[in-house]
Amino acid sequence: MKGTACYSKTERNFASDFIENLEPYSPISSRDKIVSGLANCDLPPLKLDWNESTLPPSVAVKNAIINALACNDNLLNWYPELSSKELRRKLAAYSGRAMEEILVTNGSDDALDLICKVFLDPKDEVVVPYPTYTHFLTYIHTRGAVVKKVETPDPFKPDIASVLENVTPATKMIYIVNPNNPTGVLLSKQQIATLCSIASHCVVIVDEAYYEFAGETVLDLIDTYPNLIVTRTFSKAWALAGLRVGYLLTNLSLIAQLSKVLNPKSVSVLAQIAATAALDDKQYMEKYVTDVRNSKIAMLDFFRKRGLTAFDSKANYIMVQHPRLPKLLEEMEKENIFVRDRSSFKMLPGFFRVTLGDHLQTEDFLARMDKVLDRV
Ligand SMILES: Cc1ncc(COP(=O)(O)O)c(C=O)c1O
């Protein structure tokens, strides 16, 4: 072709400018190490790095999947029920909202991505209190929007004033994780209401991934604030991280916009069956949440007695500070314990985040930790 030279003039990798400049989200999980057997195999692994449930889903959930596979020949070759109607009906009963106010997504990550796709234009400003769940930043950048990180003076104190100080007429969206990951801090409903009211020109996302552990929600503010969207997940208290189910709740007007882009077949058949069965077996989740709360008391007490700083949290994890963190993490791995190093956040020097399990796992964890701390 005559014009070949002009095609080869710039070496393109075909990515959009936003993606080309995107800093990739680089998840660090112990899963591969554990599964590949690289970890110390004498002791059962304690995977406490991603705030997943430390227990499998209930027998009722497993049976629902097995029975559905046994009873329906076309279960897997057909696409799933569009828009997860049955699951949305159950979620309506669980959340006390109408099913029309709910969209089910492929994990709550997918809900966050959808919200960014629908409400952000290039160069829009998004206010994000920091430190927080950083994967969300990728979705903002993918849209070519701009992140305005707000580092509050004390990351372990609920602080709405610092957030509001950074909201300007150019702000399009605010992302609040409540309770926050990794700090475990919970903003009150009144604080969220203030935010929605003052920042009425912004979409306010309240990410309630850890709602079941906190036991507090801002859902009813949807009736008052037309700019509020709440996201939730089945990956934590419901023990279904591997199946990828999340959902969002908001008013009908925003649902109409979001529905234009939502892929109605993105939640798999098995994921819908499992999440529906989990909601039918709510006591199992509730017992686990109670266990986790008790574990938190034991863990905080243990670390504090060992002279370490450990912060209380409204979620299924706590943050602990250690003066020799790299050495500590190395020694923990020798005991087959995996936690999340959070010290790369400027405001969290020497901190690791540890997911809480049930009482037996906590006893086991504390016994191993006792030995580790004696060595470090
Ligand atoms: C605050 C927060 N939001 C969302 C997610 C993603 O959850 P999902 O598995 O539903 O995509 C996580 C996962 O760790 C999280 O901590």
Of the pLDDT bands very low, low, confident and very high (cuts 50, 70, 90), residue 300 is: very high
Phi, psi of 21 (to 5 degrees): -90, 5
Domains of the chain, CATH where assigned: 27-53+283-375 (3.90.1150.10), 59-280 (3.40.640.10)
Over residues 18-31, the mean pLDDT reads 80
CB neighbours of 219 closer than 8 A, spacing ≥ 6?
95, 96, 97, 230, 249
In this structure, the residues whose C-beta lies within 6 A of any atom of ligand 1 are 51, 107-109, 133, 177, 181, 207, 209, 233, 235, 241, 246
Distance 6 CA to ligand 1 centre (A): 45
For 245, the token pair is 């189910």
Distance 187 CA to ligand 1 centre (A): 18
- Quote the CA–CA distance of 34 and 23 in Å, as a whole number: 27
Classify residue 215 by burial, with Cβ atoms within 10 Å: 0-12, 13-18, 19+: exposed
- Quote the CA–CA distance of 376 and 206 in Å, as a whole number: 39
Distance 375 CA to ligand 1 centre (A): 34
Q: pTM for the full model?
A: 0.95
Express each pLDDT in 330-360 by its tens digit: 999 999 999 999 999 999 999 999 999 999 9
Euclidean distance between the first and the last CA atom of the chain, given in angstroms as a whole number: 68
Q: Determine contact, residues 33/344, Cβ cutoff 8 Å.
A: no
Of the pLDDT bands very low, low, confident and very high (cuts 50, 70, 90), residue 31 is: confident
- Ligand 1: residue of 28, 48, 109 to mutate (most ligand atoms within 8 A of CB) is 109
- Quote the CA–CA distance of 241 and 244 in Å, as a whole number: 6
* Residues linked to residue 320 through DSSP beta bridges, in sequence order: 310, 352
Atom in ligand 1 nearest the alpha carbon of residue 241? 9
Residue of 178, 173, 146 lying closest to 159 (CA atoms): 178
Distance 57 CA to ligand 1 centre (A): 18
Express each pLDDT in 179-236 by its tens digit: 999 999 999 999 999 999 999 999 999 999 999 999 999 999 999 999 999 999 999 9
Express each pLDDT in 131-167 by its tens digit: 999 999 999 999 999 999 999 889 999 999 999 999 9
Distance 85 CA to ligand 1 centre (A): 23
Instruction: Give the angle 260-264-269 at the CA atoms, nearest 5°.
Output: 170
pLDDT at 131: 96
- Quote the CA–CA distance of 326 and 331 in Å, as a whole number: 9
- β strands within 92-198, DSSP E: 102-105, 125-130, 146-151, 171-177
Distance 374 CA to ligand 1 centre (A): 34
Atom in ligand 1 nearest the alpha carbon of residue 246? 10
Express each pLDDT in 91-119 by its tens digit: 999 999 999 999 999 999 999 999 999 99
Atom in ligand 1 nearest the alpha carbon of residue 210? 1
Distance 241 CA to ligand 1 centre (A): 9
Asked if residue 179 has a cis previous peptide bond (ω within 30° of 0), the answer is yes
The β-bridge relationship of strands 317-321 and 146-151 is: unpaired
Residue whose Cα lies nearest atom 2 of ligand 1: it is 209
Of the pLDDT bands very low, low, confident and very high (cuts 50, 70, 90), residue 41 is: low
Residue of 254, 255, 246, 177 lying closest to 218 (CA atoms): 177
Residue of 154, 202, 201 lying closest to 176 (CA atoms): 202
The DSSP H or E segment spanning 361 is helix 359-375
